[in-house]
Structure 1
Amino acid sequence: MLNFVLFGPPGAGKGTQSQKLIDQYQLIHISTGDLFRAHIKNQSPLGQKVSELIADGQLVPDAITIAMLEEEVDKNPEAKGFIFDGFPRTVPQAIALDEFLESKGSSIAGVIALDVDQEELTKRIAQRQLESGRADDQADKLQKRIDEYFSKTIHVLPYYEAQGKLSKVNGIGNIDTIFTELRAVVDQY
């Protein structure tokens, strides 16, 4: 199974590039953000709790996130592989993902980090907010999410680097050029 983590701060282009990777390699995209938004839209009890947390710019607790992710993987037993987008955000989540995949006889093949500076992130998310109106892209909440990424989430990268699984790709520039660089990484596996 070909499993990848697509890593980067909010607005780095993970969603855009994930779709291109899905089309190219027939992988299943699992975005914790999409899972959260689906639960919120359906007004499930979990969705209501997630909504409160996201509205405050907080991360959803590991136990909730991991349970949702495992459920999604289990729904796709015939998948060729998965792209994990927005997960893991902490080393304990990375360890939990490794353990879960190992229990399925699989593992993370590689982690691809999209490098994008804060100025570009701010520009992209302002544009995305105009186009989609996502509540989590409002300026005050967005800054919390970006700060959270650069103060906490980025520390997951050394965990994967120590395993020899980390590749960095410049996330600024033409979408197709970035995708070509991503494909070069994926094609190594």
Structure 2
Amino acid sequence: MSARLVLLGPPGAGKGTQAVRLAESLGVPAISTGDIFRANIKGGTALGLKVQEYTSAGALVPDELTNAMVRDRLAEPDVEGGFLLDGYPRNVAQVAELDDILTSTGRSLDVAVEITADAAAVVDRLLKRAEIEGRADDTESVVRHRLDVYAEQTAPIAGVYASRDLLVQVDGIGAVDEVTQRLLAAIAPYVG
């Protein structure tokens, strides 16, 4: 099976959990920018050293570094049969960069999947997770700020993919298995 997809959705919608499940079902690697950053930092790569400068200072990693790492990762042999990107693209400029990366290798995106979730449900979910995991910094105001940042910067990506008839939206609220089944059913027409 070949599948090249991006996974979108607000914080707390279940992207991380569903990315692993979808990638396993599709037989493709789940690629998260966080994992790429950590691998490059751990490996001591030139890009990793630059990323560490930003993350150590608590700053966002600039697009040019993120784009370079994604380009390197998508050139690895394990993505020949496809991939699932989680956390990239995060803005419309990165959509254009991903298009360039794929075009340069003769590939294209099959589908963009947006996991949707009611803001109140997401806030509840993240506050419960913070309590369970002891994340004192995940307060309601912080969670709501992260949702605002998502709406401002990342949600417009859904519009780009919708205009290309590549967007499917799936409700992320419910039991994990139910959401996985909804996702697999929604992307079935796009992958194969």
Number of the residue aligned with 2:49:
45
In the aligned structure 1, how far is the partner of 2:189 from the partner of 2:112?
12
| Equivalent position amino acid for 2:16 in 1 | G
| Equivalent position amino acid for 2:49 in 1 | P
Change (3 A) 1:41 1:123: farther
Number of the residue aligned with 1:114:
115
- Superposition TM-score, scaled by structure 1 size: 0.85
In the aligned structure 2, how far is the partner of 1:134 from the partner of 1:15?
17
Change (3 A) 1:64 1:19: same
**Larger Cα Rg: Structure 1 or Structure 2?**
2
Q: Percent identity?
A: 36
Structure 1 residue runs of 5 or longer lacking an equivalent are: none
Q: Quick check: 77-86 or 175-184, which moved more?
A: 77-86
Per-residue CA distance 1:68-95 (angstroms, 9 max, x = gap)? 1111111235531111111111111001
Please list, as runs of the form range in 1=range in 2, the aligned pairs for 1:44-123 lying within 5 A after superposition.
44-52=48-56, 55=58, 59-77=60-78, 79-123=80-124
Matched pairs, number = 185
Report the secondary structure of 2:25's partner residue.
Answer: helix
In the aligned structure 2, how far is the partner of 1:66 from the partner of 1:181?
30
CA displacement at 1:169 relative to structure 2: 0.3
CA displacement at 1:152 relative to structure 2: 1.9
- Superposition TM-score, scaled by structure 2 size: 0.84
Structure 2 residue runs of 5 or longer lacking an equivalent are: none
In the aligned structure 2, how far is the partner of 1:104 from the partner of 1:115?
31
CA displacement at 1:118 relative to structure 2: 1.8
